[in-house]
Each structure stands twice: as structure tokens, then as C-alpha cells.
Structure 1
Amino acid sequence: MGLNIGDKIPNFIAKDTNGNDFNSQDLIGKKPLVIYFYPKDNTPGCTTQACTFRDQYEDFKDLGAEVIGVSSDSVASHQKFTQQYKLPFILLSDSDKNLRNLFGVPSSLFGLIPGRVTYVTDKTGTIIMIFDNMKAKGHISKALDAIRKLQQ
């Protein structure tokens, strides 16, 4: 049972790229969020997706939004991934798959590959868009369009 449009994202705490506790409560109520779940650091599709979010990060920031990437990779893996591709946004380690389960992100390919789902929330933490597609392309433009609509 996953989250749907109109639901509030759950409160959660996870380790960020620096090994610090990230608390969702620190951002909910302050800014729109783009939370994207992806399968694995340093794989072709995930690298493309992360680099595209990186290249358009200023567009999200200009609209007042924060981008957060989530995968089951370790903090050390996220640190390497962030340094190698100069990722300016938060990556969260979900090694116990707690966040994936909390959001209801499905697996694909017979449950072997963690799903790729992007959630966009308004400032209050209410989900306004969900894009569930294993192809890395499309997530960034759809998220940016949803954030732009909030500004209208």
C-alpha cells in the first residue's frame, strides 16, 4: 500500500551523505520537496538521473524546492557518488529499506530491482505528483513542471 497524491509524506529520519541524521521535519512546512527513489549508485540510469537533477538543481532551488535522492546504498557509497559527480543535493541511505517501505515504493523485474519513483510535495508535505517509471528520463522534467505549477 503506497502513498498517493493528496497524502502527507510520513516523518522519517535517515543518514545523509555525511553520515548525519536527516529529519524530514526540518524541511516539511518550509519548502516543496522532490524525493526520488532510485535503484543504485553508479549504475548507468541512476547516474544519468542524478546528473540531470544536478544540472537542473538551480532551477529547483530558484523555485524554492529541495531535491533528495534515496537508495539502499551505504553512506560511503553515497559519498563517493556525490564526489564523483559533484551532486549538490541530499542523498539518503536507506539500507534497511525502511523509507522505501514507508513510501510504498514497488520493486520491479520480479522484485529484483528496487523501483524508481519520484514524489513531489508542496510546502506542507502533501504529495502533489508521483512518477513511477524505471526509465531515468522524464523524472526531472515532470518534477520541475510540478514545482512550477505550485508557483502559479
Structure 2
Amino acid sequence: MNRLNSLSDVTLLMANRVYLMEGCKLLPNFSEALTKNFQSDVHLLNFCNQKAAASTINTWIEEKTKEKIKNLVNKNDLNVDTRLVLVNAIYFKARWREVFNKEATKTDPFYLNDADSVNVQMMHIKKKFYYKGMKELEAQIKSWKCHTPMET
């Protein structure tokens, strides 16, 4: 991460936060691990006020992603039984070697799970790419090179 941040035309911002229900406590070892391993802070929040709690979380995410991610948490995602919410926000900006054609952007479904999807703007490009399937994540990872060489 330090190497990426040292490049003048690359921006990588990572932010981690744990929202903990007011009145609850974390074990000291867990709290220390959050700080040491994930650079995460703990923010106390009253999840009983679902609207205010969702707004607090969404405002923080929006700030940390330079307003690219908005309204990630819905008030209905939180309730009186919610004790902890873990948030990880990543903002990455660089010049890509391969550029998407803006005219090829169209609305497509983004699948949240097997049953639910939301329509979002998606970029499209036809090209052969290297990728790797990861069964343990049920994901495919694609290689996409930045304009700035990052070889060691």
C-alpha cells in the first residue's frame, strides 16, 4: 500500500471502522487486533435509532470513498438486536492502460445474492483478459493494469 501511495498518479485510500452498539464492550484483545491489524477504530452508535445510525454510517462511507459509494446501509438493515457493524471502504484511482468506452456503459443487474439484485451502471469492454477463479470466495479475479508501472 505504501508503494502505491508513493506514486504521483495513484490514489489508494482504505478505511475500516467498527460500529458498536452504545453500552456494549469489546474484549481488549479484539479491540487491539482491530487497531493493529486492520487500522480500524471503534465508533459507538445507537442502532435503536435506525435512521440516524444508517445516516452516520453512510456519511462516513461517502466521505471515505470520495462520494463514490452512497447509501450502502439501509435503515432496515439495522434493528434493536444489532450489536456490531463492520465497514470496509476502499477508494482506488489510477490511469488504466485499457480505457473503457463511455458509450458502452449501460444499466445491468448487480446481484447482491442469489435472489436479490439492483440495477447499476456497468462498464463494458470486449477483450481477452487473464483471470483466476477462487472457489473459497466464489469469485473470479481479473488482472487490470494501471498506466503507471508498479514492478518491484
TM-score by length of 2: 0.29
Structure (1/2) with the larger helix percentage: 1
The answer to which structure, 1 or 2, has the higher relative contact order (CA under 8 A, 6+ apart) is: 1
Structure (1/2) with the larger strand percentage: 2
Larger radius of gyration: 2
TM-score by length of 1: 0.29
